[in-house]
Amino acid sequence: MTPRIVERLKEIVGAEYVLTSPEDLVRYGLDEIEERYRRMPDVVVKPHTPEEIAAIMHLANEERIPVTPRGAGTGLSGGAVPVFGGIVLSMERMNSILEIDCDNMMVTVEPGVVLADMMRAVEAHGLFYPVDVSTFESCYVGGNVAENAGGARAVKYGVTSDWVCGLEIVTPTGEIVCLGGKHIKDVTGYNLVKLLIGSEGTLGIITKITFRLTVKPTYVLDLLIPFDSLEVAVSQVLKLLREERDLSAIELMDSSSIRVAEQYLNLKLPYDDCEAHLLIQVDGMEEDVVWRSAERIYKRVTQAGAKETLVADNRVTKERIWRARRVIAEALKALYRHVSVEDIVVPRAEIPQAVRCIKKLAFQHCLEVCLYGHIGDGNLHPTLVCNDRDEFTWTHDLEAFLTDMFCIVRKLGGNLTAEHGIGLKRIKYLPLMLDKAEIALMQAIKKAWDPNGILNPGKIFG
């Protein structure tokens, strides 16, 4: 990165939007991954238009400079870490809600819009965007698309890819391309929209997104259900999924997760001495239908041995229990020296076996694991924590555990990550999960789109 290149970047976006001082750069060298993965960029650039991004990418290709797109930095896999330095392309200035189209039930936004702001904006028009990720108050929608974020309500509403209809992107070689649109069905050529979603910023820089919307459910109930047995709690999930069509979320918190959330928030949850809590959300358009569903859930879990079924039907109680669930990862990072948040997914029928195997494996490796996650769609976040080991020992023990865990996950028909991505963190484990031919196909796509290998290098494949 030479002074000449920095001056050219200033000409493109304006001098005030090009950062080079160490105190500014350090903030852009990490997302929510562990500190040991930090890498410093050479320069941070804050574009405001697709045309500025296109000009930056033309310059980067000329000079062979790596470019790392960055949203809010809330990712958990190192996707926004500039592995080879170069340019960090921060999308924070591209933060406008461009259009709320009530007739087509669509919203078009720039990538730097905070998810919660978009959700509130469309709800003011009686519409609903249901993908509810834990960091919704701070994450950017562009990052959600790049990682194909999931969240709690995936049981009923699916994940980000189910709601994206159109994208505007800047390609790695600097072309501005519009993909998809406001139509629901489209088989015109390859589905490049779906290819971009979850590509972790390696195939293009997202500059505009069109999401489809739905009607907001009128009635929502949240149920907190404590169990003395983690295994019994987990076993109820499949039965509930088969019997109840109005379930929008089923979340799991084990005893370790409950304790750290309480300590971090300085609050007390009901029955916090139990081995596990299920947090279940039921929603719909008719109040009596929602309540009948809640009653059936109560009868089933009571027969199975639940301690109680606590109903949160007002805003204060809802926020209290959901906040406890949302802050678990944050709380673990605050209370433990070493933390590794994982993101496995297995077929839902294999959830009980996965939970048993992970607990047994942690015992064998002498590691503490907190188990929580979106159990209703088979997505668990086993989080390994430790306070009493040095960095070298922790890294060695963690890698041994993860290798064993991912092998088990593959045998169960699952995979490495459900919503956090490969990024920088999980590269070495990808060959455990995917065949060589599948990886080679992905690498061929990357090479075709990014011939100089400059867009978010060092991610997914290394």
Bridge partner list, 234 = none
Exposure of 187 by Cβ count < 10 A (0-12 exposed, 13-18 middle, 19+ buried)?
Answer: exposed
H or E element at residue 372: strand 372-374
Spatial CB neighbours of 208, under 8 Å, sequence gap ≥ 6 = 50, 98, 108, 109, 110, 111, 166, 167, 168, 178
- 336-436 placed in CATH 3.20.20.80: no
Tell me which DSSP letter residue 217 carries. Answer: P
Phi and psi dihedrals of 299, rounded to 5? -65, -45
Domain 97-215 classification at class level: alpha beta
State the DSSP H helix or E strand holding residue 379, giving kind and residue range, or none if neither: strand 379-380
Using alpha carbons only, give the angle 192, 195, 199 rounded to the nearest 5 degrees.
140
DSSP structure string for 64-97: T--EEEESSS--SSSTT--TT-SEEEE-TT---E
What predicted TM-score, i.e. pTM, was given to this entire model? 0.96
> Which CATH architecture does the domain made up of 219-329 adopt?
2-Layer Sandwich (3.30)
Judge whether 219-329 and 336-436 match in fold: yes
Q: Helix, strand, or coil here: 14? A: coil
Q: Which burial class, exposed, middle or buried, applies to 271 when counting CB atoms under 10 A from its CB (0-12, 13-18, 19+)?
A: middle
Helix, strand, coil percentages, rounded to 5, for the chain: 40, 20, 35
Neighbours of 228 (CB within 10 A): 14
Two tokens, residue 351? 């959830």
pLDDT tens for the chain, 462 residues: list them.
899 999 999 999 999 999 999 999 999 999 999 999 999 999 999 999 999 999 999 999 999 999 999 999 999 999 999 999 999 999 999 999 999 999 999 999 999 999 999 999 999 999 999 999 999 999 999 999 999 999 999 999 999 999 999 999 999 999 999 999 999 999 999 999 999 999 999 999 999 999 999 999 999 999 999 999 999 999 999 999 999 999 999 999 999 999 999 999 999 999 999 999 999 999 999 999 999 999 999 999 999 999 999 999 789 999 999 999 999 999 999 999 999 999 999 999 999 999 999 999 999 999 999 999 999 999 999 999 999 999 999 999 999 999 999 999 999 999 999 999 999 999 999 999 999 999 999 999 999 999 999 999 999 998
pLDDT at 462: 83
CA distances 447 to 78, 172, 173, Å, are 21, 10, 11
CA proximity to 91, closest of 67, 116, 63 = 67
Sequence ranges of the domains in the chain: 3-90, 97-215, 219-329, 336-436
Query: What integer pLDDT is reported at residue 314 of this predicted model?
Result: 87
| CA-closest candidate to residue 325, choices 276, 260, 253 | 253
Give the DSSP per-residue string, 224-273. EEEES-HHHHHHHHHHHHHH-S-EEEEEEEEHHHHHHHHHHHT---TTTT
CATH number among 1.10.3720.10, 3.30.43.10, 3.20.20.140, 3.30.200.20, domain 3-90 = 3.30.43.10
What's the CA gap between 323 and 279, in Å, rounded? 12
Nearest alpha-carbon partner for 148 in 185, 207, 201, 92: 201
